[in-house]
A and B are shown apart, each in its own frame.
Chain A
Amino acid sequence: MRSNSTAEGLKSLKRWIPSMFTFLLVFVVVSATAQERTVSGVITSGEDGSTLPGVTILEKGTTNGTITDIDGNYKISVGDGATIVVSFVGFKTQELPVGNKSTMDLVLDTDVSALEEVVVIGYGTQRKSDLTGAVASLNGDALMQSVNASLDQGLQGRVAGLQATQNSGQPGGAVSIRIRGTTSLTQSSEPLYVIDGIQVGGQAQGITGFDWQGGSGGQQGAASNPMASINPNDIASIEVLKDASATAIYGSRAANGVIIITTKRGKKGESKISYNGFYAVQDVYKTVDMMNLREYAEYNNEVAQEVSTINSNDNFADPSLLGEGTDWQEAIFRLAPMQSHSMTFTGGEEKLQYVLSAGYMQQDGIVIGSDFDRINVRLNVDNQVRDWLKIGTSMSLSRKDERIINTDGGDGVIAQAASMPPHIPVRNFDGTFAGPQQQNPSAQVGNNPVAMALVRNNTNLSNRVMNNLFAEVGVIDGLKVRTELAVDYNNGTNKSFFPTFKWGTFENQISQFAQRSSESFFWLWKTYATYNLKLDKHDMTVMAGYEAQRGAYEGFTGYKVNLPNDIQVMNQGDISNIANTGYKGWNALSSQFARGIYSFNDRYLVTGTIRRDGSSRFGSEYAWGWFPSASVGWRISNEPFMPQTSLIDNLKLRAGWGQVGNQEIANYAFGSALNALNTEFGPAVRNQRYSNPFAKWEATQTVNVGLDLGLFDGRLNLTFDAYRKYTNDLLLQQQLPGTYGNRINGPIANVGDMRNEGIEVSFNSINIDNGFIKWSSNANFSMNRNKILDLQDLEFYQNVYWYTGFQQATRTIGGGYPVGQFYGYVMEGIFTSKEEIENHAVQINNGEDQNLIDRTVGLWLGDVKWKDVNGDGFITPEDQTFIGDPNPDFTFGFSNSITVGPFTLDAFILGSIGGDILNYTRARGESMTGIFANQAVAVKDRARTRLIEGGTDINNIDDVELINPETNMPRFDNGAENQNHVMSTRWIEDGSYVRIQNLKLAYNLPQKWASAVQLSRLQVYANVQNVATFTEYTGLDPVVGAFNQDPMRQGWDLGRYPSPRIFTVGLDFDF
């Protein structure tokens, strides 16, 4: 929380005329010669133009002084030739000679050196200048620069060392946040969030998806985002604790970093009413090039000629007579509106302050059938009950309602829109949805995506109450005891409906309905004492406390079928054949912690913390863990030997070490529980996993060195950090060889070591500030290298759905390789001649260790030539190798803000360089294994053969040649013997991108005009988000994230819901 904000008052109607008058006189030179003169004026904030009450005005060299009134007016009598000194907390002190002026209005600039800025560090606050750990601080305004439904989206590119990628552009879709790289293999790498003292894990909650209906479902990419329930408008500041010396105070949950979110609190002064609102339209900015009807028909005809078992379609006999057909992508995407409105009431007396806010946000997805809305109410109160007792609360209530379509997965609406053939119309003449006429060989083709999106109904409604009550007692001078009781209550209802339909020959005669209801209740109680002692040059703060927290959850899923009139309520319909199911559990943490901060003479800083956590997630012998940290800082700029110039006004070296833990495993994962299942013989049980009672904390040790540099009177600030994180005893779920079974879970074990190391640089500068023009820049750069040092011979593979053949799309092993690397074959080109096939390593064995040349079951011209990686003359699984790394080389963010008079232009650019993407959507669009699915336009250039002169048999390799030998697109092959479309370099693309994330032009109504309409502030703005993306990636969106937030599934594009381009107009005002 920053302390430099101001109290703001509501300007009353009576007062505005005189202050307006004086304001105008700024530009008038008034000469006067009186000995004793009275000067008056109004003091306003340079930050937002609001008037400042309580500003001290002193005649220099005297004790003569006054303060501004509630409207920022002052009046003071001074001697001739006097100079006045105007000062206010959080602003730069100014000295002005009065001369012969009688009115002097003044705009106070905020103190940009910000050395006195206070940051939240967990169980307390600290002056930013005293920080010894790696902490990045972001105020709420920065988040509001872009249009975000959820605050974690707003973090993207803003903080060095923090990588935020949206796993899905679906409204409310989850975001993956990595602070300094991936720290866990099979468990979550999401950070811990602390929202007004309430700890919330960052994992997305899975939803009842489509898997019970035979689809790929419950994918967490589309799952609801825990941060989506917070109104970004309510946020005062966000602190990102990055290194262990900063996070260790959160002990066992801190290994992935901590994000502390503090909401706005009331201030003394007259009540203020603020409104923030915007209206936006969103649009998809790119679609994949798929064949139109003519192209598809031609493709069908050509294939039917090539392959005798494929019949030609009579309707396609003359493609030139056909139209464009259905553009399925156009059919599923739409211009989608989005709006948000927040009202905030703040105010307070001497002893009682409050913030009351209400927000409403509504977003339609750019894919039909998806939407999201949210209502928030918040009340924050602080009350100084007695001199020694302060109590308060942060209460928030949110309700969000989403309609989720099946996206992001291989059978999702977006992937389906790409592969749905263009000869099928969206609807029949009678308005009903159309579908394929003929039966298809699998479920993957023929599902009308428009119908899927609109008719299959999947909704998620959740309510959340978060409340933190605190009492703070000043025991003796310097000693405060604070106790907080927090609760977090959630309930959710997730419904999934599969209707009856008849789409062409696709028919479903009976509807199905699933509903999951869940409830969770979390409480946390902490009490800690803070003692601050300032003695001469010594400044010492000691804090110690304890904390207990417990979360309990319960839920069930019920099923019904045959619902009359598609009424989706559990009282309808017949009992389903699928058994109802439920779950229940709890977990708890008990902790003690202490911290000491000592500084000597504002030069030498030492911080030490220790925390002891006990967790219910481990067996009793392994429940407790210790998490210490220590860090030091040296403010060189305060040393006497440093020249006291404005060139260097801050120079600080920091170094820290700490150990944090990770406890995020499932309940009773150390033991072996029995899963219940139904059988022909009634209820039955079976082991859930191989047990490991020895599972214990995972420990991550971080070493961090940092440098803070402030130059030119604080106009240029630079922060540099370098770190190394070692994670030992990685807590993971073992992936066992298949011979141990793969339905039964591997044990939770502590195996292996991982290292993340990197550097982060961030700077902000005020390039120009001449009163009329102000230009400031902010930039950050992060580089992280992830290496798994050892996995004790364990290997981890992840597949893209079991039926795809991409069974080992990533491979994660020890020995210094990064997590989640792509794994597959290397494509060397395609075969263009018989000789090439004969001379190449054996891909399909003819039984005599030579390549089998055969159009149907062997190799043919136009098949992919695989690289014989191990050089043994045969293409075998041994020839798979690492073919790409999804981890970016570096990421950056760069924002500029230029204010010219009342106009402010913000521009924000971010980028990620060097991460690879598996473009699975393209793998479907160019697979060429059948004629039922549409293919990419690029497939038109596939390798095709024709008879050579004098040739007679198209099945004799000596009689044929390639029509287009220079192509790189393999041939059509429905048998897929050579697996031209297998996981290989063919589908790996460079996912580097630079994106102009937003451009925002704001107009601040000058104070005088604002006052004329009784407003203390008014801003209108227009914003374009996702302006332009520079990338070589051919898919819809290079910002892919981690599928299911799984670190081993980073950079998988399975038909991801693309992030929209958003055009916004907005209005903010205070009165």
Chain B
Amino acid sequence: MKTYINSIFLSLVMFLTSACGDEFLEFVPEDQSTVASWYKNSNEIRQATASLYHDPWFGYQDQFGWLAGDLLAGDMHHNWDQEGQFFYLSFNESNPYIDGGFQGLYNVISYANLIIDDMPTIASGHGVDQAVIDAALGEARFFRGAAYFLLVEYWETVPIIEQPAAKVAAGDLFQPKNKTEDIYEFARRDFAFAAENLPTSDVAGRVTQWSAKGMLAKLHVTLGQRFAGGNPNVGSAEDFQIAADYAADVINNSGLSLASNYEDLFKIDNEDDPEILWGIQFINQGYGTGNSRQARYARHSRITGDAQAWGGGKGMTVSYVQNLINNANGMEDERRRAIYMQNGDEYSYIGGGYLYEIVSRDEDDVQMEGATPTLNNLKKYVVGGVADHGYIISNQDSPLDMYMLRLADVYLLHAEALLGTQASLAGGPGYNSYLAVRDRAGLGDPGVPLTYERLFNERRVEFGLEGLAWLDVRRRFYRDANDALNYLNNQGRTDRYYRIDPNDDLENDPAGYELVPAGGGVGTNPDNVNNDPVITFTASDMVMPIPAQQQTVNPLLKPGADVVDYFED
């Protein structure tokens, strides 16, 4: 018995000295890498920056991107619930989608910041070449700059966050709003660093120095318009010229070219087309990884093959359609069917072949699809379902990349920069850039000098449903506030169509409908009363409120809180 007890105690002692030692407790993740052991070579560094291309942008793009980008600008007609508040300009700071956009952009910033802060020291500790480090820094700073550029365009004053980990560790959590001009400057420095350090070419989809230069062109045009509108603090007289130089550099030296067919730009197969400068590189791997526009926009399950088709009531406004027609100058704009669908349109590549009818009925004459208020439905980013592609996109995850900057944008920015503060442009490189975009749309030279308004109208068509419309309205507002407000207040976004006689057989003929203006307008059929309000913007409506929940957490973001300098002058 004694030996037995001895062996128990012996095992006890052995156990205490071996298994219970510190290595028993020392934890290193088995299913994850750690930051400290990462960034050993170019491949690992590029794996970190690759994460910035799609997923972090989902929060911004899923809802806010189109609600603020297109619906608020008066291009889209959609009035449902809290989404419809963008249509009616009736949102306040509590609207959840405003927070979705704000938060989404800061998600991009937080991820970019951590790479910017962690990577250089760890990588150089591993002996990685400085050029590799700088190129990756350029990539991360490109995205951070882009996020700040969008933040300043929508919200004017927001906090600039750098080195978040150090601030969190120090408990220095609440950062104040920074001045508009400082945010522009911050974004400009990021883009400029990216333009210097990114390669001239990379694998398809990765940003290059041309992407950065394109964004610099946009940023400087924006500053130029701010200056043109008489803002003493933001922008300067040189900005238009700087923008023009950047744009020209991209147009002449990037090796990119406008895709020959506009509609093809929005097909999955062509997403790495020669026009792309920066796109959100969505993938088809489940909710949150892909492009959710199809679910938001598609008119019916007939197109998507799944239940996620919530676009039955969404169409382009009468104003948008009218502008497209006017802009075409009597010609057929080839872009139109890629942006929205109207009666008689046929699409061979979605829904196994889809014919658009104002009202569609099944074989039993039961109505499947009904008339939208503007007699059209959305098309752009609607790509079809499994029947068309052989794979499913039922999880709001179309792989179609979302354009954030494409060459046509730089062309038109080039024109805008060279137009500068002048009233019009009658010819020259800027005018030619404008013509190049029109050419591709199958439209000719209108033969009249290019005014700012004509350029704006061209952009409105070219980038319809790409989430850029509000940014363009903003630039117009910088340039001439009253002009922009007049534009918004007179566009009649709430005008809509009514069926004249529900009992005639014209349900699939536009002639069976009548346009009734909002604000109590009455049609020829006295039942057709459009009580929707006429929407009126004032200057204070041009800036997004900081989301309520961000204000409650951080009191420095409240409306009256101080806006402070970021850069010491």
For residue B236, give the distance in angstroms from its CB to the closest CB of chain A. Answer: 29
Q: Are A308 and B169 in contact (CB under 8 A)?
A: no
Binds B, one of A682-690, A826-834, A1063-1071: A682-690
Q: Is B274 an interface residue (CB 8 A)?
A: no
Q: Which of A668, A930, A975 has the most CB of B within 10 A?
A: A975
A686 and B313 contact, Cβ closer than 8 Å, known pairs A880-B552, A930-B81? no
B90, B111, B165, B395: the one within 8 Å of A213 (CB): B395
Q: Answer yes or no: A94 CB below 8 A from chain B CBs.
A: no
Partner of A877, one of B47, B281, B307, B548: B548
Q: At the interface with chain A, which of B64-72, B330-338, B362-370, B470-478?
A: B362-370
> How many Å from the CB of A59 to the closest CB on chain B?
42
Q: Binary interface profile of A, 886-917, with partner B (CB < 8 Å = 1, else 0)?
A: 00000000000000000000000000000000
Which of A61-69, A359-367, A731-739, A1008-1016 makes up part of the contact surface? A731-739
- CB pair A688–B32 under 8 Å, yes or no, is yes
In the complex with contacts A473-B4, A512-B392, A685-B96 CB distance below 8 A: no
Which residues of chain A come closer than 8 Å to B88, judged between CB atoms?
Answer: 856-857, 975, 977
Interface of chain A residues 838 through 864 with chain B (CB within 8 A):
844, 847, 854-858
Nearest-CB distance from A169 to chain B (Å)?
Answer: 28
- Chain A residues, Cβ within 8 Å of B394: 213-214, 508, 510, 512
Q: Which of A509, A561, A687, A982 contacts B35 (CB 8 A)?
A: A687
A308-B530, A668-B34, A739-B161 known; A590 vs B19 contact (CB < 8 Å): yes
Contacting pair B367 A437 (CB below 8 A)? yes
Chain A positions within 8 Å of B4 at CB level: 473
Interface segment, one of B239-247, B283-291, B412-420: B283-291
Q: Which residues of A contact B75 (CB under 8 A)?
A: none
Query: B533 on the interface (CB 8 Å rule)?
Result: yes
B551 within 8 A of A: yes
CB–CB A743/B79 < 8 A = no
Which residue of A438, A667, A877 has the most chain B CB atoms within 10 A of its CB atom? A877
B12: A residues at CB distance < 8 A: 527, 546
Of B22, B53, B103, the residue contacting A620 (CB under 8 A) is: B22
Residues of A contacting B80 with CB < 8 Å?
Answer: 441-442, 930, 974
Q: Write out, one digit per residue, whether chain B residues 368-402 have a CB within 8 A of any chain A CB (1) or not (0).
A: 11100100000000000111000111111100010
Give Cα A679 to B26, complex, Å.
32
| B28 and chain A: residue at smallest CB distance | A668
A517 to chain B, nearest CB (A): 15
- Is B493 on the interface with A (CB-CB < 8 A)? no
Report which residue of A473, A548, A675, A686 has the largest number of chain B beta carbons within 10 angstroms of its beta carbon: A686
Report which of A510, A525, A739, A741 forms a contact with B392, defined as CB distance below 8 A: A510
A929 and chain B: residue at smallest CB distance: B81
Is A481 in contact with B8, judged by CB distance below 8 angstroms? yes
Q: Is residue A680 contacting chain B, with contact meaning CB distance below 8 A?
A: yes
Scan residues 7-43 of chain B and give those whose CB is less than 8 A from a CB of chain A.
Answer: 8, 12, 15-16, 19-20, 22, 24-36, 38
Name the CB-closest residue of A to B87. A975
- Is B531 a contact partner of A855 (Cβ separation < 8 A)? yes
B553 engages A744 (CB within 8 Å): no
Interface residues of A, count at CB 8 A: 122
Given A674-B35, A736-B173, A802-B100, verify A509-B385 contact (CB < 8 Å): yes
**Most interface-central of B24, B26, B206 (chain A CB within 10 A):** B24
Contacts across chains A and B counted by CB atoms under 8 Å: 363
Q: Which residues 346-375 of B have a CB within 8 angstroms of A?
A: 366-370, 373
Contact between chains at A674 and B550 (CB < 8 Å): no
**Of B90, B171, B310, which one neighbours A441 at CB under 8 angstroms?**
B310
| A320 CB–B CB distance under 8 Å | no
Question: Given the complex, which residues of B lie within 8 Å of A811, measured CB to CB?
Answer: 552
The distance in angstroms between the C-alpha atoms of A686 and B113, with both chains bound, is 11
Please state if A683 and B47 are interface contacts (CB–CB under 8 Å): yes
Q: Which of A667, A680, A739, A878 contacts B554 (CB under 8 A)?
A: A739
Interface residues of B in 179-211 (CB under 8 A from A): 203, 205-206
Given A437-B366, A587-B27, check contact A684 B205 (CB 8 Å).
no
- Which residues on the B side are within 8 Å of A509 (C-beta)? 305-306, 385-387, 392
Known: A214-B396, A684-B51. A808 touches B552 (CB 8 A): yes
| A807 adjacent to chain B (CB < 8 Å) | yes
Nearest CB on A from B491, distance (A)? 16
CB distance from B94 to the nearest CB of A (A): 6
CA distance A526 to B512 in the complex (A): 85
Interface flag for A93 (CB, 8 Å) = no
Among A263-271, A279-287, A611-619, A630-638, the stretch that binds chain B is A611-619
Residues of B within 8 A of A589 (CB): 25
Nearest CB to that of A806 among chain B residues? B96
Pair A616/B554 contact, Cβ less than 8 Å: no
Q: Given A740-B106, A857-B533, A673 and B283 touching (CB < 8 A)?
A: no
Tell me, yes or no, whether A601 is within 8 Å of chain B by CB: no
Choice from B1, B54, B111 contacting A744 with Cβ under 8 Å: B111
Given contacts A438-B367, A808-B552, A977-B90, contact A548 B50 (CB under 8 A): no
A contact residues around B313 at 8 Å (CB): 439, 441
A690's partner among B168, B367, B385 (CB-CB below 8 A) is: B168
Q: Which residues of B contact A747 (CB under 8 A)?
A: 168-169
Chain A positions within 8 Å of B309 at CB level: 439
Whose C-beta in chain A lies nearest to the C-beta of B77? A309
Is B150 at the interface (CB under 8 A from chain A)? no
Q: A582–B529 Cα gap in the complex (Å)?
A: 58
Q: Is the CB of A687 within 8 A of B118?
A: yes
- List A contacts of B29 (CB < 8 A): 585, 667-668, 673
Contact B159 A739 (CB under 8 A): yes
Pick from A685, A744, A976: contact of B81, CB under 8 Å = A976
> Which residues of B have CB within 8 Å of A880?
552
Give the residues in chain B near A979, CB-CB below 8 Å. 94
Closest CB-CB distance, B372 to chain A, in whole Å?
Answer: 11
Instruction: State which of B28, B85, B164 has its C-beta within 8 Å of the C-beta of A740.
Output: B164
**Residue contact B96 to A807, C-beta cutoff 8 Å:** yes
With A509-B305, A668-B27, A741-B111: A690-B164 Cβ-Cβ less than 8 Å: yes
Residues on B with beta carbons closer than 8 Å to the beta carbon of A550: 24
A561 CA to B206 CA, complexed, in Å: 30
Partner of B106, one of A620, A671, A739: A739
Known contacts A473-B8, A807-B96, A844-B92; is A507 also within 8 Å of B33 by CB?
A: no
Check B53 against A679 for contact (C-beta < 8 Å): yes
Cα–Cα distance between A847 and B90 once the two chains are bound (Å): 12
Contact assessment for B15 and A546 in the assembled complex, using a CB-CB cutoff below 8 Å: yes
- Please name all residues of chain B whose beta carbon is closer than 8 Å to the beta carbon of A579 when the two chains form the complex: 285-286
Q: Which residues 122-181 of A have a CB within 8 angstroms of B? A: none
Q: Are B205 and A740 in contact, CB atoms less than 8 angstroms apart? A: no
Q: How far is the CA of A508 from the CA of B282 in the complex (A)?
A: 22
Q: Quick check: B15 and A578 within 8 Å, CB to CB?
A: no
Interface centre among A671, A793, A854 (most CB of B within 10 A): A671
CA distance A877 to B550 in the complex (A): 10
- Flag whether B109 is at the interface (Cβ < 8 A): yes
Known: A442-B310, A744-B111, A857-B89. A674 touches B281 (CB 8 A): no
A585 near B31: Cβ-Cβ < 8 Å = yes
A617 to B533, CA, bound (A): 60
Query: Within the complex, what minimum Cβ distance (angstroms) separates B81 from chain A?
Result: 5
Q: Which residue of B lies closest to A680 (CB)?
A: B281
Proximity bits, A929-942, B CB within 8 Å = 1, else 0: 11000000000000
B203→A681 contact, CB < 8 A = yes
A195 to B59, CA, bound (A): 45
Assess the B31–A508 pair: CB atoms within 8 A. Answer: no
- Some 16 contacts from A to B, beta carbons below 8 A apart, are A309-B532, A590-B19, A590-B20, A616-B24, A616-B26, A671-B34, A684-B48, A739-B550, A740-B164, A854-B533, A858-B90, A877-B93, A878-B558, A929-B81, A975-B81, A982-B94
**Would you list the 3 A-B pairs with minimal beta carbon distance, nearest first?**
A741-B110, A439-B312, A877-B548
Q: Given contact pairs A585-B31, A805-B94, A976-B82, enumerate 7 new A-B contacts (beta carbons under 8 Å).
A: A213-B287, A443-B308, A562-B392, A673-B35, A679-B50, A684-B47, A807-B99
